């Protein structure tokens, strides 16, 4: 027999398009679906189509949203003076899960990465600059990831914002040893940053 029968092969290929899914995992997913009822399988297909149909991008912050404006931007009780700049909607979700800040967000849609043709024009940078002025922002928290690209993007944004709005405070999340981390196993760059950023007790 051919390795897989055609309708299964098609489904396996589709599962392989998901991030990080190899053949073995795709087969496992596909086989698990065959064991579900037709109704359950229809629910899965509907959820896929429904998410693509009903999830939009917030007109203000570019976060994902069911409506034209996301709940954070629509919330009148949010702090209107601090803007937290993140790479992706997932990053904003991670912040929201803390229930710690009442900042609003601006989703860049990625980071600068010339190798992957991700230049400043491809990211939501121009309207970030516009928002800072129009919304009278006092502080911009540059919460891009602590990666090479995240740092580069933060440095670029810092330069751009400082040039246009010299009075706006621009901050970056602290870097250092994560909680539970050992100095022995920390990479040299993290350890260097932890030393340079050391705090008085």
Distance in Å, CB of 24 to its own copies, minimum: 9
User: Rounded to whole angstroms, what are the CA distances from 190 to 19, 177, 179, 183?
Assistant: 28, 7, 13, 9
CA distance 167 to 137: 10
Nearer to its own copies, 71 or 178 (CB): 71
Nearer to its own copies (CB atom), residue 93 or residue 162: 93
CB neighbour list of residue 22: distance below 8 Å, 6 or more residues apart: 16
Question: In angstroms, what is the minimal distance from the CB of 36 to its own copies?
Answer: 8
What is the contact surface with its own copies in residues (CB under 8 A)? 1-8, 10-11, 13-14, 17-20, 25, 27-34, 36, 38, 40-55, 64-66, 70-72, 75, 88-90, 93, 96-97
Q: Which is nearer to its own copies, 97 or 198 (CB)?
A: 97
Q: Which is nearer to its own copies, 66 or 174 (CB)?
A: 66
Whether residue 148 contacts residue 141, with contact meaning beta carbons closer than 8 Å, is answered with: no
Minimal distance, residue 197 CB to its own copies, in Å: 28
DSSP assignment, residue 76?
Answer: T
- Shortest distance, position 122 Cβ to its own copies, whole Å: 13
| 87 CB burial (10 A radius; 0-12, 13-18, 19+) | buried
> Looking at beta carbons only, is 8 or 118 nearer to its own copies?
8
Q: What's the rounded Cα separation, in Å, for the pair 55 and 63?
A: 10
Token pair belonging to 46? 């509907």
Q: How far is the CB of 67 from its own copies (least distance, A)?
A: 9
> In angstroms, how far apart are the furthest CA atoms of the chain?
71
Closest to its own copies by CB, 6 or 163: 6
CA distance linking residue 125 with residue 30, whole number of Å: 41
- Residue 41 Cβ, how far from its own copies at the closest point, in Å? 4
């Amino acid at each position: 027999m051919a390795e897989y029968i055609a309708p299964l092969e098609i489904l396996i290929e589709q599962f392989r398009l998901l991030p990080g899914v190899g053949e073995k995992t795709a087969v496992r997913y596909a086989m698990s679906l065959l064991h579900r009822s037709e109704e359950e399988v229809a629910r899965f297909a509907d959820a896929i189509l429904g998410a693509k149909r009903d999830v939009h991008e917030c007109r203000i912050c570019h976060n994902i949203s069911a409506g034209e404006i996301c709940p954070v931007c629509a919330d009148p009780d949010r702090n209107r003076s601090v803007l937290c700049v993140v790479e992706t909607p997932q990053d904003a979700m991670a912040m929201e899960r803390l229930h710690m800040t009442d900042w609003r967000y601006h989703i860049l849609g990625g980071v600068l990465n010339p190798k992957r043709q991700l230049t400043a024009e491809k990211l939501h940078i121009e309207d970030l600059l516009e928002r800072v002025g129009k919304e009278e922002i006092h502080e911009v928290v540059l919460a891009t990831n602590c990666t090479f690209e995240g740092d580069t993007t933060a440095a670029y944004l810092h330069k751009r914002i400082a040039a246009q709005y010299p009075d706006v405070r621009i901050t970056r999340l602290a870097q250092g040893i994560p909680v539970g981390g050992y100095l022995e196993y920390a990479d040299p760059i993290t350890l260097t940053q932890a030393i340079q950023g050391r705090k008085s007790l």
